[in-house]
Amino acid sequence: MSNNQIKYLFFALSLLLYACGQGNRERSNIPPTPFQIESIQNTASIEALTDAIRSNPSLAENYYKRAMVLNRMGETQKALEDINRADRLKQNTGKYLYVKALILRDMEQYREAYAFAQSAEILNVDTPELYTLLGDLSQQRNDLKSAEQYLAKSLQIAPYDGETAFYQGTLAARKGDTTTALLKMNKAIEMKPSLKLAYSSLTEVLRNRRLYDSALAVNNSALILFPKDSKFLIERGLVFNKSDRLDSAIFYFSKVLKIDKNRIDAVLYSASIYFRWKKFNKALELYKNVLDINPETPKINYSIALTLEQLGLLTKAEGFLKVQAEKDPNDTQTIIALNRVSGQVNSSLGVYKDPIPIPVKKVSVPVAKPVVVEPKRLLDTSRIRVNIILPKKKVNIKTDTSRRLKF
C-alpha cells in the first residue's frame, strides 16, 4: 500500500470517527422523557425485587418495596397483595400501614385507607407523606378542619413538597377559593412536574372557570411529559367539548379509542356529541358498543332508548326503557320517558293504559327533640359558711373647727 493510500485511509477513518462522535454527542443532548425514565426504572425495580423475593420469600421488606413500585405503576391490586404479605410477616409496622393506606386511597376505598393511615400515625410514622395523605383523606370525609391541620403539619416538616401544595389547592377549591386553588396547583407542578393529579385538577378548575386557553396550555404540558397517558387526551377533548369546539373534541376522543377501544368514557363522550349533531345512527352504534363492553354502565339503556326515539323506533325504545326502569324503579327521568314513549306506542295501536306513577322522593322531616325541663337547683345553705359583715373601723380625720357652722 502506497503512502498516499495510507494517508487517505487514515483521513477517512478520522472523519468517520469524528462523525460518530458528533452523532453521539447530539443524541446525548436529547434527554429521554420522564415517562420513559420512570417506566424503565419501575420495570428494572420490579425484576430485581422479584428475584430477591424468590431467593428469600420470608423477608417482609422486599414485599413492601415491590408494593410501592407496583402502586406507582397503577397495579393497585397486586400492590395490595404484596403489602398484605409484608404486614403478615411483620405486623404493626407503621410504614407498611402507611403504604397500605396509600394503595387503598388509590383504589378509592377511602374509609379503610383513613383507618390504616391513622394506625400508622399512632405507630409514630412522622413523615410529611403520611400527613399529606391524611390531609387528602380528611377532605374525602369532608373534614376540612382536620385536612388543614394535617397539611400544615406536613409543611412544617417539608415546606417545598409538591403533593402538599397540590392538596392545599384542592382544599382551597372545596372552600370556594379558586384563586388560591390555581396558585397552589400551579406551584405543585413547578415543585413536582411528575405529579399527574396536579395537571388533571388544574385543567379541570380552569375548564370550569371557562379559561379554556389556559386549560389547554396546562394539558399540553402534561401530554409532553406523558404522551401515552390516554387520560390527558380525554381531558383535552373535554376542554374542547366544553368550549363547543366539537370537531376537535371528537378528534381527541377518537385518538383515545385508537389506543384503547374499550375506553367507555371516550365512547360515551363521542356518542353524546353525535347525538347533539343529530347523527343518531352513529350515536346509537357507539351506545350499543358501550352496552356490549359493560352492560352495567349507568343509564346506558336510557341513552339508547332516547336515540331510538329520535330515529322513530318507538317500540324498541320502549323495550330499553322498561329494562332501565326494572334496574332502577325510582329513576324519575326514566319513568317520565317511558310514559311518553309508551303513550305514543299505545296511541298508534288505539289502546289506552294508565301511565306509571312517577316515584316521589321521600323528604326526611327532621324529628324535633323532646324538650327536657331540668329541675330547679336548690341551694343547700346548711353547708355554706356565712361570714358576718362587720362595720368599718372609724377613721380619724382631722376637722377644721374654725369653720364650724353656728346655729
Name the region of 304 (left: φ>0; alpha: ψ -120 to 50; beta: rest): alpha
Nearest by Cα to 102 from 82, 117, 87, 115: 117
Instruction: Look at residue 363 in the predicted model and tell me its pLDDT.
Output: 55
Residues 322, 331 contacting (CB under 8 angstroms): no
Residues 90, 60 contacting (CB under 8 angstroms): yes
The number of residues in the chain equals 407
Using the CB atoms, write b or e for 227-250: b if 16+ within 10 Å.
eebbebbbbbbbbbbebeebeebb
Span 169-195, pLDDT tens digits: 999 999 989 899 999 999 999 999 989
pTM over 0.85: no
Instruction: Look at residue 15 in the predicted model and tell me its pLDDT.
Output: 35
Task: With a cut of 70, list the residues of the chain below it in pLDDT.
Answer: 1-38, 360-407
Instruction: Look at residue 369 in the predicted model and tell me its pLDDT.
Output: 52
Phi, psi of 282 (to 5 degrees): -70, -40
Nearest by Cα to 202 from 241, 158, 162, 229: 162
Contacts of 35 (CB under 8 A, 6+ apart): 225, 226, 227, 228, 229
Phi, psi of 183 (to 5 degrees): -65, -45
Q: Which amino acid is at 233?
A: L
Instruction: Look at residue 134 in the predicted model and tell me its pLDDT.
Output: 95
Instruction: Look at residue 165 in the predicted model and tell me its pLDDT.
Output: 94
Sign of the CA dihedral running 159, 162, 163, 164: positive
Instruction: Look at residue 29 in the predicted model and tell me its pLDDT.
Output: 39
Distance of alpha carbon 383 from its chain centroid, rounded?
64
Contacts of 139 (CB under 8 A, 6+ apart): 147, 167, 170, 171, 174
Q: Which amino acid is at 373?
A: V
Nearest by Cα to 325 from 301, 296, 341, 348: 301
